[in-house]
């Protein structure tokens, strides 16, 4: 199986945002300069090596997920914590009033997909 550098970069970014909120805080937790994190790993140029992978494990990252997008982003203990948080967020989100879209709105799926990809970056 060949690893996809861009996918690993997206997963790394997702883990950093979910766990630390900003990439600067994430880089600090990794004892790394933020510019090194961005230029080397978050843009998909490099795959994390053994030293970085060990640091990520210590921070609670599920390395199987990071490299393959299988399973979940966090280790089992971390997953329980985030399941509770996600459940609370879903409950709060469902209690918000819904705005209805006019029926004559046309959604271009190509633009929608492109926007979603851009949001994930």
Report the pLDDT value the prediction gives residue 99, as an integer from 0 to 100. 45
CA-based radius of gyration for the chain: 17
Q: What are the tokens at 7? A: 């996918």
Report the pLDDT value the prediction gives residue 82, as an integer from 0 to 100. 52
β-sheet bridge partners, residue 61: 74
Report the pLDDT value the prediction gives residue 21, as an integer from 0 to 100. 93
The CATH classification number of 5-76 equals 1.10.260.40
Domain boundaries, the chain: 5-76
37, 27 contact by CB (below 8 A): yes
Helix/strand/coil (H, E, C) string of 7-63? HHHHHHHHHHHHHHCCHHHHHHHCCCCHHHHHHHHHCCCCCCCHHHHHHHHHCCECH
Report the pLDDT value the prediction gives residue 77, as an integer from 0 to 100. 55
**C-beta atoms surrounding 79 within 10 Å:** 16
Report the pLDDT value the prediction gives residue 86, as an integer from 0 to 100. 57
Separation between Cα atoms, residue 56 and residue 97, nearest integer Å:
39
Residue with tokens 């190509």: 110
Report the pLDDT value the prediction gives residue 23, as an integer from 0 to 100. 92
CA proximity to 121, closest of 11, 2, 3: 11
Q: Which residues of the chain have pLDDT under 50?
A: 99-117, 119, 121
SS3 70: coil
């Amino acid at each position: 199986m060949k690893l996809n550098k861009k996918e690993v970069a997206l997963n790394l970014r997702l883990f950093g945002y979910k766990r630390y909120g900003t990439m600067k805080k994430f880089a600090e937790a990794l004892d790394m300069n933020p510019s090194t994190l961005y230029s080397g790993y978050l843009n998909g140029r490099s795959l994390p090596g053994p030293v970085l992978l060990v640091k990520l494990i210590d921070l609670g990252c599920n390395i199987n997920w990071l490299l393959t997008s299988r399973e979940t982003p966090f280790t089992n203990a971390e997953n329980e914590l985030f399941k509770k948080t996600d459940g609370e967020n879903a409950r709060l989100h469902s209690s918000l009033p819904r705005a209805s879209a006019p029926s004559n709105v046309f959604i271009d799926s190509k633009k929608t997909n492109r926007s979603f990809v851009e949001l994930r970056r």
